């Protein structure tokens, strides 16, 4: 069979002549150009963030202290409060979202038949496309307006849960579908109940793929800003309490620095008042990108260890 | 699964060599993808006698308790997601209606937005215009480039390069939107300024009219938005282009087609529905983008006259809600109403996009 296929003369593109050749070359140029064009903003943006943010990260205090009462013109301080807030909010989000998403993924692949499965798939799609600001407004309407809650990190986590669930559901679904059916059938043949087959055979087989999805889901929500803006409120002080009070986070720290970018008066001798807002803004942006890229690298490494592949 | 024993007793867990296969595997085997060998051990080591003495499933017994609980939990989680999306719609409607009822101007056609006083005067026409305009600009830029990248990956680049290229394009999607925002306004917008100024002088075309927003115009926002939705459209376009049937491609080759002619005859017609749905998913993302637009596009003065210029300032639904989030405690109603409209918009766009994708799946 393969020999027969291989012995067939290989079909390939004709070079064409005249106008056809010119069109072909033009198309090749445009297509290659569009790829190179897409690289421009990526390289440009990463270079900007790295070159402008490195200085702030190099400061000894960056990872060990918060901004506290420092204004834009006071030197020193760091992003500790923002890092703590981001990690806590994202961690709480993952703790809530991952179990739900795993169960939904298992439901859709292992049990999903009939109308509920169809509606669930559709709703997961809708959830994938829900704008983060709508999730934020919904959480606001329920927990702050209707139930009288106060601004706190926990509400941001809940809004992020809505954004993370569909990402994890989709990857879990993909990975469970890749588990060979023979494994399930062999397990059933031994009399193992379906739920134990799923827990002990199917999920462990797909484990690394699912972890990849979870990590990518975390990376997806770690940089979300809109829900934090509506539901938490920023403070430059470190607040480790998710359930009480304003809380800093890297996106909100960036946003806060933006507000101070042009600030500062001119002194009597004509010099401008010092302004560290830009430096801190790019520093926080670089910190955020490093966290997200680390998560992406972890996801790739875990995916590489996967036992099943497409 | 059904009961296998006639007396209704639960079947004892199958055991291999005295050790139940249902026991947790030794520490370490569950972790990080190394569990498949364990599963295979179970299958290979199972003595042939394992099944002897148990009747085949009859389908009449009651379902095991564990199975019932587990199925209940998973379908409960599925129902939760369904309920969640429905709740979003219901709650936003429920909270938006009182505000819309108190609205002194037409909610759909007014461009006013004055909600801090004792009377509410707000309408979504201005927000809707900016949202649609900025998304259209982003689509006009992003769709052709995405198609180009997807063609490059699937038809032009060497096979080994396809994966690294996909990874690089995905990196664009991994960058948080707030970073696009600060980059867009402080780095990119100044570079776009000459283009904008050049277009001012193109003979007074209304959409290129100078409205005094040399930096922070809707155009600037649209360009950044285009970069942000590029990876979404590219991913889906690549997916469908890759699946172009081999026969179609070889048929084109056999006719003596050049590479470009083959793409026009085989790849593009086959991939069109996928590209359309990918573009609509990108549109859904563009409509709802918040913080990048908020940082880049300046808001015009309240009550400024309408202008069709893409060099005007403006506020999208999402940016308006985020910009005024400090006013929420006093008057959340109008913003919840704006959020509702945005939800409905993205719902329609995403549902349509998925509809196209899923219909395609049925045929291929």
Examine the pLDDT at B11 and tell me if it is beyond 70: no
Element (H, E) at A167: helix A153-178
A44 and A138 fall within a common domain: no
A232 and A283 fall within a common domain: yes
**Chain B residues with CB-CB distance to A34 below 8 A:** 144-149, 152
B348: nearest CA partner in chain A: A126
Examine the pLDDT at B103 and tell me if it is beyond 90: no
Residue A34 pLDDT:
94
CB proximity list for A201: less than 8 A, separation 6 or greater: A179, A183, A184, A187, A192, B39, B42
B121 and B56 fall within a common domain: no
Contact between residue A77 and residue B220 where contact means Cβ atoms under 8 Å apart:
no
Residue B94 lies in a domain: no
Residue B121 lies in a domain: yes
B57 and B203 fall within a common domain: no
Residue A51 pLDDT:
95
B267, B217, B43: which is closest to A190 by C-alpha? B43
A35 and A172 fall within a common domain: no
Least-confidence region, from A42-56, A119-133, B190-204: B190-204
Contact between residue B260 and residue B299 where contact means Cβ atoms under 8 Å apart:
no
Average pLDDT over residues B267-278: 91
Examine the pLDDT at B168 and tell me if it is beyond 80: yes
Examine the pLDDT at B48 and tell me if it is beyond 80: no
A and B: number of Cβ contacts within 8 A: 339
| Mean pLDDT value across chain B | 81
B305 and B225 fall within a common domain: yes
Examine the pLDDT at A31 and tell me if it is beyond 80: yes
Residue A310 lies in a domain: no
Residue A253 pLDDT:
94
Residue B76 pLDDT:
93
Which of B178, B317, B322, B356 best tests the A interface by mutation, with the highest count of A CBs <10 A?
B178
Examine the pLDDT at B258 and tell me if it is beyond 80: yes
CB contact under 8 A, B77 and A103: yes
Average pLDDT over residues A258-279: 82
Element (H, E) at A257: helix A250-259
Place B61 in a pLDDT band, splitting at 50, 70 and 90: low
For residue A137, what are its two tokens?
A: 């407004």
Residue B199 pLDDT:
86
Q: What is the pLDDT of residues A55-98, one digit of tens each?
A: 999 888 898 888 888 888 888 888 999 999 999 999 999 999 99
B145: nearest CA partner in chain A: A34
Q: Report the domain count for chain A.
A: 2
**Chain A residues with CB-CB distance to B171 below 8 A:** 42, 296
Residue A2 pLDDT:
45
Place A201 in a pLDDT band, splitting at 50, 70 and 90: very high
A220, A224, A284, A222: which is closest to A253 by C-alpha? A284
Residue B149 lies in a domain: yes
Residue B75 lies in a domain: no
Q: Report the domain count for chain B.
A: 2
A112, A130, A111: which is closest to A121 by C-alpha? A112
CB contact under 8 A, A201 and B263: no
**Chain B residues with CB-CB distance to A15 below 8 A:** 258
Q: How far is CA A231 from CA A60, A150, A201, A228, B294, in A?
A: 31, 9, 41, 5, 17
A136, A147, A98, A94: which is closest to A252 by C-alpha? A136
Torsion of CA A94, A95, A96, A99, to 10 degrees: 100
Place A100 in a pLDDT band, splitting at 50, 70 and 90: very high
Which of B62, B85, B235 best tests the A interface by mutation, with the highest count of A CBs <10 A?
B85
Residue B79 lies in a domain: no
For residue B302, what are its two tokens?
A: 């309240």
| Residue B50 lies in domain | 15-62
Q: Which residues of B78-116 are buried (b: 16+ CB within 10 A; e: fewer)?
A: bbbbbebbeebeebbeebbeebbeebebebeebbbbebe
The number of angstroms, rounded, from the C-alpha of B263 to the middle of its chain's C-alpha atoms is 27
| Residue A50 lies in domain | 17-58
B252: nearest CA partner in chain A: A13
**Chain A residues with CB-CB distance to B95 below 8 A:** 141, 145-146
Q: What is the pLDDT of residues B112-129, one digit of tens each?
A: 888 877 788 888 999 999
Examine the pLDDT at A196 and tell me if it is beyond 60: yes
Percent of chain A with pLDDT over 70: 95
């Amino acid at each position: 069979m393969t020999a027969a296929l291989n012995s067939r003369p290989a079909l390939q593109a004709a070079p064409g002549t005249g106008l056809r050749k010119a069109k072909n070359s033009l198309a090749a140029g445009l297509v290659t150009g569009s790829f190179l064009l897409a690289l421009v903003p990526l390289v440009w943006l990463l270079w900007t963030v790295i070159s402008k943010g490195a200085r702030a990260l190099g400061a000894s205090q960056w990872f060990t202290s918060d901004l506290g009462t420092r204004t834009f013109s006071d030197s020193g301080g760091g992003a500790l409060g923002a890092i703590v807030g981001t990690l806590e909010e994202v961690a709480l989000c993952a703790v809530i979202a991952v179990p739900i998403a795993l169960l939904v993924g298992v439901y859709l692949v292992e049990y999903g038949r009939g109308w509920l499965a169809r509606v669930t798939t559709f709703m997961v799609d809708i959830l994938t496309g829900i704008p983060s600001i709508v999730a934020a407004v919904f959480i606001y309407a329920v927990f702050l307006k209707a139930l009288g809650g106060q601004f706190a990190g926990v509400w941001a986590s809940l809004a992020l849960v809505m954004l993370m669930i569909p990402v994890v559901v989709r990857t879990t679904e993909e990975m469970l579908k890749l588990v060979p059916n023979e494994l399930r059938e062999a397990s059933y043949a031994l009399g193992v109940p379906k739920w134990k087959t799923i827990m002990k055979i199917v999920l462990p087989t797909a484990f690394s793929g699912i972890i990849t999805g979870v990590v990518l889901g975390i990376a997806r929500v770690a940089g979300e800003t809109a829900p934090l803006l509506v539901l938490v409120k920023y403070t430059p002080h470190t607040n480790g309490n998710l359930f009480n009070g304003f809380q800093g986070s890297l996106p909100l720290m960036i946003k806060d620095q933006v507000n101070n970018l042009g600030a500062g008066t001119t002194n009597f001798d004509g010099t401008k008042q010092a302004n560290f807002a830009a430096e801190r803004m790019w520093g926080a942006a670089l910190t955020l990108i490093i966290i997200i890229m680390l998560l992406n690298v972890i996801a790739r490494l875990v995916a590489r260890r996967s036992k099943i592949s497409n | 699964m059904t009961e296998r024993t006639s007396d209704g007793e639960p079947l004892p867990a199958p055991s291999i060599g005295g050790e139940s296969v249902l026991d947790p595997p030794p520490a370490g085997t569950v972790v990080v993808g190394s569990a498949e060998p364990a599963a295979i051990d179970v299958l290979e080591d199972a003595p042939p006698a394992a099944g002897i003495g148990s009747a085949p499933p009859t389908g009449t017994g009651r379902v095991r308790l564990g199975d019932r609980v587990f199925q209940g939990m998973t379908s409960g989680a599925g129902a939760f997601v369904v309920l969640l999306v429905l709740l979003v719609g219901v709650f936003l409607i429920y909270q938006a209606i009182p505000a819309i009822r108190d609205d002194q101007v037409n909610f759909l056609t007014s461009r006013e937005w004055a909600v801090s006083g004792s009377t509410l005067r707000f309408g979504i026409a201005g927000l809707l215009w900016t949202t649609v305009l900025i998304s259209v600009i982003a689509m006009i830029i992003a769709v052709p480039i995405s198609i180009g990248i997807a063609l490059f990956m699937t038809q032009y680049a060497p096979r080994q390069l396809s994966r690294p290229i996909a990874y690089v394009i995905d990196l664009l999607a991994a960058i948080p939107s707030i970073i696009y925002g600060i980059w867009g306004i402080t780095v990119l917008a100044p570079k776009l300024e000459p283009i904008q100024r050049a277009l001012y002088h193109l003979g007074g075309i209304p959409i290129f009219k100078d409205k005094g927003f040399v930096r922070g115009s809707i155009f600037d926002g649209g360009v950044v938005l285009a970069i942000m939705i590029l990876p979404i459209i590219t991913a889906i376009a690549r997916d469908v282009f890759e699946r172009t049937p081999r026969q179609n491609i070889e048929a084109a080759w056999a006719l003596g087609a050049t590479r470009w002619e083959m793409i026009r005859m085989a790849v593009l017609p086959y991939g069109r529905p996928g590209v359309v749905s990918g573009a609509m998913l990108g549109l859904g993302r563009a409509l709802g983008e918040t913080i990048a637009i908020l940082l880049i596009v300046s808001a015009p003065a309240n009550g400024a006259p309408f202008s069709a210029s893409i060099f005007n300032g403006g506020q999208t639904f999402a940016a308006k809600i985020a910009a005024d989030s400090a006013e929420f405690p006093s008057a959340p109603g109008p913003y919840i109403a704006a959020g509702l409209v945005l939800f409905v918009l993205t719902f329609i766009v995403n549902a349509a996009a998925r509809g196209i994708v899923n219909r395609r799946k049925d045929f291929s």
